[in-house]
């Protein structure tokens, strides 16, 4: 199919109805490039340039400066709701600039002996202009607000569908750049070119925007590509090595990098709060907790103030989660310490990875290749070129187009080779399973390519196997025996059983034993199920046991956002209470959830803050709050160190030290005994079972009834005695006793809503 409509633009909000784009074709671009030189027309900002450029320029013919305004692309039809952005002052000249034609690959900005090469893909563009902003040291201060514009010649600077040029004499760093691209204006065919907009290079390895996170004095900051070819290669150290943790041994900690240390209670210097370096300072906490992998919410460049660019009900919000990627190659520049910018962000990201690896902790990135505000998207040409919406944002990435596939693969390889990351979690990954028309594919090319790519062979690859268009693929995600999945059925079934829903015992048993009904196919393993009760979207663990209903009024959407299907239970009162009995029950329930998670076959994942009981006050969609709703509260952690945190940490370490809880195969009848003859009774909410492994048995019982259950305790293995390690009904430190408390009785009374773990020991 020729002329597949895809968008490449700067959207100022992810719900934009007026994007610009550069369409793609399914044909492969021609890669030939000639070596000849050319003279091309150049536009220079204002009137004067310094000697650095005078060796490239031969004559100047001045013309009138022009200044114009462009309406925000979010909605060009509504004048009163749009901020105006001035085009940079430009001077039209016939000033010749001696440049070489450049080469088509690599895409983006690269450097060689000829200078800096710029290459960008666009199938339908009729005009491409490279816009350069050079450091003040290169030209005099009179022109510091302007840009140099180099108009490319389609006869010389184009190979196939790739436009390219090489510029001599540019500095090795500090140059910001973008593109003005023009082409057909045929809306009904999906063409939305607008050369007044300076576009961000999708292959830019670094992106520069505002300097400090959430700086409201710079709401309409422009985002441009930049580069740093002068820094020395990063020193990973002589004894550095990748953790390469087996998937059976992973315990994942999902965390928001900024929110982890942004709060004053972190005790960090203001300059490193919310930064890559801030994470390094808190590695001792991660080690004390016991996790060995961090799954970072998006750390690709995004605009945290995208909601504040025009008046709207969400214009008080700051995008804290980051699910609005602008570029797939550049680390978030405002996560650098002390406003360190793009180069600082790149270096400090590597420092963070290096430090985490030295601590034996892997780094998994949450990546958003399903939608973005600078990208190529699906359109429906049968309906006025409407953007197809499988992401909830209206701008779905056309992942299985050959050019977009290569963009995604190049991005993934970049993060593995340049930044040494250990894996990826793909947000709304079902989008990657759709064809160019949005229809589901049985064998999506991009999913297979990721699974088979040699550069990614050591990486953990994890799918969120659903999207907002209803393509729910839990247990059915195309996988090539490589892809793991966020197991949404695990989350729902565990929540429902622990809170006491009827007819959930069988499902609970299936989930804690590895979800064989979903994953025992071909060569898939239990660890391909990423087990979780809590994730970033939805209730925190504390809120799961404290709220029956979401409370999202602070989001500005009148409580209509966020899911209503939370399977939560407030334990008798909605929200905060001083009732000791209710608070005790909530504490017990949080421990029950954690026990279930840590004894389940598969890969456990927990959320940052649940180790002390973080609350978002019932907000189950807190993406836009850069405050205590999302920020880790270190003072609260200290207050819970000897109780809640201690239990969570000890339970994680118990899992690490007991291989019986993390098989690399599915359980057989020889591995588990179910102490149950009441499977068919929907009102039965008690389950007990024993895991077997060479006499090192573990007995587990979960009581989701609101009354005491007297459990029959099985005979321990020969020459062994049961030792009670966990009883969630007991207060700390008796709720978890590492060495175990000997127990020789025939029965054990399980309190309402409690769980017990016993270990067979000599």
- State the catalytic residues: 427, 464
* 477 close to 433: Cβ distance less than 8 angstroms: yes
Determine how many CB atoms are found less than 10 A away from the CB of residue 479. 23
- Distance of alpha carbon 666 from alpha carbon 644, whole angstroms: 32
- Distance of alpha carbon 611 from alpha carbon 260, whole angstroms: 13
3-state secondary structure of 298: coil
- Distance of alpha carbon 584 from alpha carbon 644, whole angstroms: 12
Determine how many CB atoms are found less than 10 A away from the CB of residue 177. 26
What residues are paired with 689 via a beta bridge?
674, 700
| Per-residue three-class SS string for 340-365 | CHHHHHHHHHHHHHHHHHHCCCEEEE
Strands (E), 31-114: 38-44, 65-66, 69-71, 84-86, 90-99, 108-112
Task: Give yes or no for a cis peptide into 106 (omega within 30° of 0).
Answer: yes
The string of DSSP letters for 522-549 reads TT--GGGEEEES--SSS--HHHHTT-SS
b/e burial code for range 387-406 (CB count within 10 A of at least 16 → b): bbbbbbbbbbbbbbbbbbbe
Element (H, E) at 385: none
Determine how many CB atoms are found less than 10 A away from the CB of residue 734. 12
Helices (H) and strands (E) in the chain, counts: 14, 32
- Distance of alpha carbon 690 from alpha carbon 286, whole angstroms: 31
- Distance of alpha carbon 227 from alpha carbon 173, whole angstroms: 6
Taking Cα atoms as reference points, which of 279, 410, 252, 408 lies closest to residue 353?
Answer: 279
Residue 581 class from Cβ within 10 Å (0-12 exposed, 13-18 middle, 19+ buried)?
exposed
């Amino acid at each position: 199919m020729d002329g597949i409509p895809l968008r490449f633009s700067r959207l100022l909000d992810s719900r934009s109805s007026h994007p610009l784009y550069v369409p793609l074709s399914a044909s492969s671009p021609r890669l030939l490039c000639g070596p000849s030189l050319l003279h091309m027309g150049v536009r220079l900002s204002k009137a004067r340039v310094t000697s650095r450029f005078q060796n490239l320029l031969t004559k100047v013919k001045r013309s009138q400066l022009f200044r114009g305004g462009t309406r925000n692309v979010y909605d060009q039809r509504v004048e009163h709701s749009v901020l105006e952005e001035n085009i940079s002052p430009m001077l039209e000249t016939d000033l010749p600039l001696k440049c070489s034609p450049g080469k088509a690959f690599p895409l983006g900005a690269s450097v060689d002996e000829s200078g800096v090469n710029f290459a960008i893909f666009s199938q339908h563009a009729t005009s491409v202009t490279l816009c350069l902003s050079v450091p003040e040291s290169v030209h005099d201060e009179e022109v510091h607000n302007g840009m140099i514009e180099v108009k490319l010649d389609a006869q010389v600077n184009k190979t196939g569908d790739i436009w390219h040029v090489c510029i001599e004499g540019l500095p090795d760093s500090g140059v910001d750049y973008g593109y003005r691209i023009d082409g057909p204006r045929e809306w009904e065919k999906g063409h939305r070119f607008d050369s007044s907009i300076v576009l961000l290079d999708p292959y830019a390895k670094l992106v520069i925007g505002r300097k400090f996170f959430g700086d409201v004095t710079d709401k309409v900051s422009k985002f441009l590509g930049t580069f740093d070819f002068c820094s020395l290669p990063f020193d990973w150290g002589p004894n550095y090595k990748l953790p390469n943790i087996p998937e059976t041994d992973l315990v994942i900690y999902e965390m928001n990098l900024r929110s982890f240390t942004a709060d004053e209670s972190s005790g960090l210097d203001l300059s490193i709060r919310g930064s890559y370096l801030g994470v390094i300072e808190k590695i001792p906490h991660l080690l004390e907790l016991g996790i060995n992998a961090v799954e970072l919410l998006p750390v690709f460049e995004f605009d945290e103030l995208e909601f504040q660019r025009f008046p709207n009900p969400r214009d008080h919000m700051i995008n804290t989660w980051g699910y609005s990627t602008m570029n797939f190659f550049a680390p978030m520049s405002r996560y650098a310490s002390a406003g360190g910018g793009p180069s600082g962000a790149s270096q400090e990201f590597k420092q963070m990875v290096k430090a985490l690896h030295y601590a034996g902790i892997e780094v998994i990135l949450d990546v958003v290749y399903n939608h973005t505000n600078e990208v190529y998207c699906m359109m429906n040409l049968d309906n006025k070129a409407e953007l197809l919406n499988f992401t909830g944002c209206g701008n779905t990435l056309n992942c299985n187009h050959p050019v977009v596939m290569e963009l995604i693969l190049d991005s993934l390889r970049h993060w593995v080779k340049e930044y040494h990351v250990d894996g990826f979690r793909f947000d709304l990954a079902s989008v990657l399973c759709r064809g160019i028309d949005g229809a589901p594919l049985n064998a999506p090319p991009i999913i297979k390519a990721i699974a088979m790519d040699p550069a990614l062979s050591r990486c953990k690859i994890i799918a969120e196997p659903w999207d907002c268009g209803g393509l729910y693929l839990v247990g059915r995600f195309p996988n090539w025996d490589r892809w793991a999945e966020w197991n949404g059925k695990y989350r729902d079934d565990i929540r429902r059983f622990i809170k006491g829903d009827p007819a959930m015992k069988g499902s609970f048993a299936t989930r804690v034993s590895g979800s064989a009904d979903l994953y025992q196919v071909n060569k898939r393993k239990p660890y391909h199920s990423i087990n979780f009760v809590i994730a970033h979207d939805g209730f925190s663990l504390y809120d799961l046991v404290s709220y029956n209903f979401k409370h999202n009024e602070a989001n500005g959407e009148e409580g209509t956002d966020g899911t209503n299907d939370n399977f939560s239970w407030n334990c008798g009162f909605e929200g905060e209470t001083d009732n000791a009995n209710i608070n005790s029950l909530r504490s017990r329930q949080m421990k029950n959830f954690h026990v279930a998670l840590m004894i389940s076959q598969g890969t456990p994942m927990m959320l940052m803050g649940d180790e002390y009981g973080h609350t978002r006050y019932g907000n189950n969609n807190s993406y836009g709050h850069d405050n205590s709703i999302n920020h880790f509260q270190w003072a609260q952690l200290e207050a819970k160190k000897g109780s809640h945190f201690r239990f969570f940490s000890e339970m994680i370490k118990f899992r690490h030290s007991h291989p019986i809880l993390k098989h690399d195969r599915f359980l057989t009848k020889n591995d588990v005994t179910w102490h149950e003859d009441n499977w068919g009774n929907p009102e039965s909410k008690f389950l007990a079972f024993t895991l077997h492994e060479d006499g090192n048995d573990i007995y587990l019982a979960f009581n989701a009834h609101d009354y005491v259950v007297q459990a029959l305790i099985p005979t321990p293995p020969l020459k062994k005695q049961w030792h009670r390690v966990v009883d969630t009904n007991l207060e700390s430190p008796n709720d978890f006793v590492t060495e175990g408390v000997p127990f020789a009785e025939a029965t054990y009374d399980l309190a309402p809503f409690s769980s017990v773990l016993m270990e067979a020991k000599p």
